Structure 1
Amino acid sequence: MLVAAALVSSPPILVPELAGSAAQETADLRQATLDAGAALGRRARTWLAVGIGDALGTVPTTAAGTYAGFGADVVVTQSPDSPSTVDRLLPLTALTGAWVRTNAASQVRLEVRTVPAATDADDCRRYGLAVRAELDASDEPIGLLVIADGATTLTDKAPGSFHEDAPAVQATVDRALRTGDARSLAALDVETCREIGMNGRAIWQIAAAAMEPVSSATELYSGAPYGVGYFVGLWIP
């Protein structure tokens, strides 16, 4: 049964060894992410994570990965008994989920599923409803780890430079995530989100379908360091 969702973001600078001089600037984001993971871990010892990938795919609970490709050989695992063999090609979504699990809820077993950023809204809804049906069919409590980033065009120095539509769309998303407004997330325009670099749109639409109605929503962090929108929070169905 689906019991809760933790909403986190996936920047590699979550990892202190990769943050360098940005470690202090991103400390609040990092701590909020760990707090969200710990809260989800208290509710469920089995997690399913959904996040962006190049294709529809599954990373099993046995996986272990490393952030070596981002500059530091920090190994993270998806279960307490993951093998010592490290997959150096795990997608960032899987690394993020495993980092949260490893550092905030080490008792948890985590499966990761990836979805392309271009997935249209109708397919996202179908995917989310299928996830909800699958998790509710289980007798054990299961937590959903939602891994999604906001617009990459919020300032002139952002990775995608500034886009005039980005601040308003990001504000809409932050408000919807803060309040558990699944309908507003479902209504996000695919093309607009693509233009402003909001790849997390597909994942939030999946989460909206899987979690609606959201009975309780809590914001732990909302901000845009380096011009990219990040949100951390908890949803209870």
Structure 2
Amino acid sequence: MLVAAAVCPCPPLLVPEVATGAAHELDAARAACADAVGLLAAARPDRLYVVGAAPEGGHGVYPAGSAGSFAGFGVDVSVRLGDGPDADAARSLPASLAVGAWLLDRARWADAPIEGLAVEETATPDVCAGLGRGLADSAGRVALLVMGDGSACRTVKAPGYLDERAEGFDTAAGRALGTADTAALLAMDTELAYELKVAGRAPWQVLAGAAEGAGLDGRLLFEDAPYGVGYFVAAWS
């Protein structure tokens, strides 16, 4: 059963070494993420799953010990997803899970075994919800760290340029994440989310499936759109 969840953004820029001189610009987001991860620990879960999106071919389960790297972003920083035997070195953590692993390492997570789940960006809401239900049923007390960004089209300098629909989409997403509204998350327009380059849509819908019937309350800890990308931090308990 799902007992707690934390929703965090997944830009590699959360890692200060990647952001370099601009690292301070995401200090508030990092602080909110630390608070959300701390609330996960307070729930005393039996198992923690880190859920994030992955490009085609990168989806699937990543066991404890799986490694990731930010070398592709020009820095020599490596992470591992909790403690465990070395996993298949040929299958590196996708960026979303690598950022999640970095957050957990920063928090010195030692409260429950960890496993990663990368969801295909194009996965349907039904598929995502089904994956979430499976995670929730896997242990008596399950927690999720859900990694995903909102739209990437909030300004002309955003990765997806300016799209007038982006702000409204993010407003609705923030409201749903902040109130633990599973129905609203599952009802997200998948085509619009794709057009707005929303990296969090599939992971958020996994969360919605896992939380069905759990009676969790939500709280939005952070909401902003630096660099024209919607970032949210929320805690469900």
TM score, norm. by length of structure 1 = 0.90
In structure 2, the residue matched to 1:173 is: 173
State the alpha-carbon separation in 1 of the partners of residues 163 and 173 from structure 2. Answer: 16
User: Is 144-153 or 37-46 further displaced after alignment?
Assistant: 37-46
RMSD over aligned Cα atoms = 2.1
Q: How far apart in 1 are the matches of 2:95 and 2:103?
A: 12
1:119 equivalent to 2:120? Answer: no
Name the structure 1 match of 2:204. Answer: 204
Name 2:94's counterpart in structure 1. Answer: 91
Q: TM-score, normalised by structure 2?
A: 0.90
Partner deviation per Cα, 1:193-232 (whole Å, 9 max, x = no partner): 1111113111111111111344311111111000000111
Displacement after TM superposition at 1:37 (Å): 1.4
Q: Deviations over 1:165-207 (max 9, x none)?
A: 1111111001111111111111111111111111311111111
- SS in structure 2 of the partner of residue 23 of structure 1: helix
1:78 equivalent in alignment to 2:91:
no
Q: Answer whether contact 1:64 1:87 (CA < 8 A) is retained.
A: no
Is 2:194 aligned against 1:194?
Answer: yes
Question: How many corresponding residue pairs?
Answer: 232
| Identical-pair percentage | 38
> SS of the residue aligned with 1:161?
coil
C-alpha deviation, 1:94, in angstroms: 2.1
Given that residues 147 and 203 in structure 1 are in contact (C-alpha distance below 8 angstroms), is that contact kept between their aligned partners in structure 2?
A: yes
Between the aligned partners of 2:88 and 2:51, the Cα distance in structure 1 is 23
Distance 1:169 1:15, change over 3 A: same
How far the C-alpha of 1:19 sits from its partner, in A, is 1.2
For residues 132-168 of structure 1, the C-alpha deviation after alignment (integer angstroms, 9 at most, x for no partner) is 222xxx24x3311111111000111101001111111
Match 1:69 to one of 69, 72, 78: 72
- Which consecutive residues of structure 1, in runs of 5 or more, have no partner in the other structure? none
Distance in 1 of aligned mates of 2:101 and 2:51: 12
Bigger Cα displacement from structure 2, 82-91 vs 167-176: 82-91
For structure 2, which runs of at least 5 residues remain unmatched after alignment?
none
8 A Cα contact 2:65 2:87, kept in partner: no
Q: Which residue pairs with 2:216 in the alignment?
A: 215
